[in-house]
Structure 1
């Protein structure tokens, strides 16, 4: 593989965030930890698809709404915007640099069409704080802000996966709403935490990889 080329490096309130290009792909690095790249977006798209697939097919109040936690390289947002069934799409992103890279930066090729969609809005805030304090509710929460519940980018993010954090997620969901959490590896402990927090239908969807542990999406339902 060719050596990466650094395109931008920022110091923000949560530490350093870097955008790199390696051949034709882009990479996001936070505090020295690889977060994601544009080489394979299957698991990010699955995050959106499993949430939609778990919702009722017919609704009396129009299409469902979704909150995406983490803009990242934009695969989840672009995939959601390509589905006309979503009526409202909000993305929470705490890193101003990442938002800039999508708004006229190198990642605009992935997300530009989605950001021009009137259904879509970017919320520049911290996801953990947002789910604890916002009065907004959604039919689906699709969260991808860490490498998984057991491998967080910053210590503050650990609160999202606690009993208190999951209760806050449930409060942001409409009855029967879906919580989908991306992870770089399965987490049986997190599945148990979801059950203990009162979620039902807890299951894990896997994305097979050529080598190593598969990416997964942890899926659960807020009881109606």
Structure 2
């Protein structure tokens, strides 16, 4: 008789929703079983984007960015994802308006209709305005000096693009566009999974100064270092 203990159960990934656009395939999966809790996972063209199991990096981006601006009344979040950066922005009582720019209409729909269960509650906040557009186009059309803070979280940084076209978001022309929509004292904060010297240099040219801030996080029993790249607009005299 075999008295050995059974091995751990492998998690099962069940597809919850799928959409196609000109940028490719977007898939929402649910992870069930195994040793961890049930969670949702978002993938674009087969590449892992984020999940609901580990959200500390998305929250850290917002928390660190909000600390850089004295009065972040109007905030732009570039990239909706599963809503955790937006959630942390809305937790700050100083924020009066949060514009979330997301290029994938299907993802916005999943948040609105409850396919992503926590989505409807987040989007019900009256301060939220969701724009379905390319963030480069949306900011190019924005009025100058409209926002206090722009958070860019559409990729894992310039070295880990979800779509090749996003490379333009980390170059000087777009960064100058962001600078124009910021009020005095405002800031752009870009999240990156690795050091990005070219991004820092482009920010320095566009803003007249830049800084890269290492950000250490603990992810599932391992230490990781991410980077926040910051460009600031001088405050009022």
TM-score (normalizing by structure 2): 0.85
Q: Is the 8 A contact 1:5 1:22 kept in 2?
A: yes
- Counterpart of 1:219 in structure 2 is 230
Q: Is the 8 A contact 1:64 1:88 kept in 2?
A: yes
Q: Which protein has greater RCO, CA pairs closer than 8 Å, 6+ apart?
A: 1
Partner Cα separation in structure 2 for residue 131 and residue 201 of structure 1: 20
- Counterpart of 1:38 in structure 2 is 52
Q: Is the 8 A contact 1:182 1:217 kept in 2?
A: yes
Q: How does 1:71-220 map to 2 (within 5 A)?
A: 71-109=80-118, 111-135=119-143, 137-209=146-218, 210-211=221-222, 213-220=224-231
Partner Cα separation in structure 2 for residue 36 and residue 200 of structure 1: 31
Deviation of the 1:99 alpha carbon? 0.5
Q: Is the 8 A contact 2:203 2:210 kept in 1?
A: no
Structure 2: gaps (5+ residues): 1-9, 33-37
Partner Cα separation in structure 2 for residue 74 and residue 17 of structure 1: 16
2:42 to 17, 28, 40: 28
Q: Is the 8 A contact 2:210 2:229 kept in 1?
A: no
SS, match of residue 185 in structure 1: coil
- Counterpart of 2:25 in structure 1 is 16
Structure 1: gaps (5+ residues): none
- Counterpart of 2:7 in structure 1 is none
Q: Is the 8 A contact 1:47 1:76 kept in 2?
A: yes
Deviation of the 1:41 alpha carbon? 1.3
Partner Cα separation in structure 1 for residue 167 and residue 106 of structure 2: 22
Deviation of the 1:199 alpha carbon? 4.4
- Counterpart of 2:61 in structure 1 is 47
SS, match of residue 4 in structure 1: strand
The CA RMSD over aligned residues, in Å, is: 1.9
Partner Cα separation in structure 2 for residue 221 and residue 205 of structure 1: 17
Partner Cα separation in structure 1 for residue 65 and residue 209 of structure 2: 14
Deviation of the 1:213 alpha carbon? 4.7
* Greater CA drift, 126-135 or 63-72: 126-135
Partner Cα separation in structure 2 for residue 203 and residue 67 of structure 1: 20
Aligned residue-pair number: 218
Partner Cα separation in structure 1 for residue 206 and residue 233 of structure 2: 10
Deviation of the 1:219 alpha carbon? 2.3
Higher radius of gyration, 1 or 2: 2
